[in-house]
Structure formats: structure tokens, C-alpha cells
């Protein structure tokens, strides 16, 4: 394969011609001039920025609502828990008092049984204690 200087120059020339034709067609068929395109891009960016700000506000409001709802629910749960603890303490106090009462009743019965045993012993062994 031989390279002819004439072929290399003509190929480069065709390349430049194609480049020029492509640029000319791009300018001829461009939908809008560069200034309009830049203005539309800038307007689109402003609209996009405003949309993002609006969506950020909406998201912040939703987040604030969720936080407020969560705080209310947590307060409700804390209040319910406090009431349950108070009720439990009251019941515990009742059970302790009932336990004390039962122990006192049993202590009285045991003391009465001991006294009855002593009297029974004394009556079977004679009258009174021996010295």
C-alpha cells in the first residue's frame, strides 16, 4: 500500500469540508439562537431551583408534622406508663397491707395456740408450775 501525498491532502481537505458543512447545517437548523437558548436554560434553572425550594419546604413541613405526632404519641405512652406504675404501686401497697394483716392474724392465732397449749399442759400436770 503506497501513500500518495496527493491522497493525504485531499482526505484532510474532505474532512475540513465535512466539518464546515456540519457546522453550517447546525447553525441553519438550530431551533433557537444561542441567546434564547441561554435565557431558557437560565429560566429552567430558576424554575428548578424554586421547585427544589418548594419541595424542601413541603418535606420540612411533613417532617415537622411527623415529629409533632411522634412527640404526642410519646407523651401519651409516658402518661399511660405513669398511670400503670401508680396503679401498680397502689396495688402493691394494698397487698403489703393485706399481708401484714394476715401475718398479724396468724401471729394472734399462734399466740393463742401457745397459750392454750400452756394451759393444757398445766392442767394435765397439776395446778401451776413446779419450782
What does the alpha-carbon distance between residue 109 and residue 102 come to, in Å, rounded to a whole number?
A: 10
57: which 3 cell numbers?
A: 419546604
* 124 three-state secondary structure: helix
- Check residue 131 and give its pLDDT: 45
- Alpha-carbon distances of 100 from 92, 96, 104, 107, 113, rounded to whole Å: 12, 6, 6, 10, 20
- Alpha-carbon distances of 96 from 91, 100, 105, rounded to whole Å: 9, 6, 14
CB 122 within 8 A of CB 129: yes
pTM, whole model, 2 decimals?
Answer: 0.39
What does the alpha-carbon distance between residue 118 and residue 131 come to, in Å, rounded to a whole number?
A: 16
Helices H, strands E: what count in the chain?
2, 0
Range with lowest mean pLDDT among 28-32, 46-50, 90-94, 104-108: 28-32
In the predicted model, what is the mean pLDDT of the chain?
79
Q: What is the pLDDT of residues 23-66, one digit of tens each?
A: 767 666 666 666 776 677 677 778 877 888 888 888 899 999 99
Distance separating the N- and C-terminal Cα atoms of the chain = 149
Amino acid at each position: 500500500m503506497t501513500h500518495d501525498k496527493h491522497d493525504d491532502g485531499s482526505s484532510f481537505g474532505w474532512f475540513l469540508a465535512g466539518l464546515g458543512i456540519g457546522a453550517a447545517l447546525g447553525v441553519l437548523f438550530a431551533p433557537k439562537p444561542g441567546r434564547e437558548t441561554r435565557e431558557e436554560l437560565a429560566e429552567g434553572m430558576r424554575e428548578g431551583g424554586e421547585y427544589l425550594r418548594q419541595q424542601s419546604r413541603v418535606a420540612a413541613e411533613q417532617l415537622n408534622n411527623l415529629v409533632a405526632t411522634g412527640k404526642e404519641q410519646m407523651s401519651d405512652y409516658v402518661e399511660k406508663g405513669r398511670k400503670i406504675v401508680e396503679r401498680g404501686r397502689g396495688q402493691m401497697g394494698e397487698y403489703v397491707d393485706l399481708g401484714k394483716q394476715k401475718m398479724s392474724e396468724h401471729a394472734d392465732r399462734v399466740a393463742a395456740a401457745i397459750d392454750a397449749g400452756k394451759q393444757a399442759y398445766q392442767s394435765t400436770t397439776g395446778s401451776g408450775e413446779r419450782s
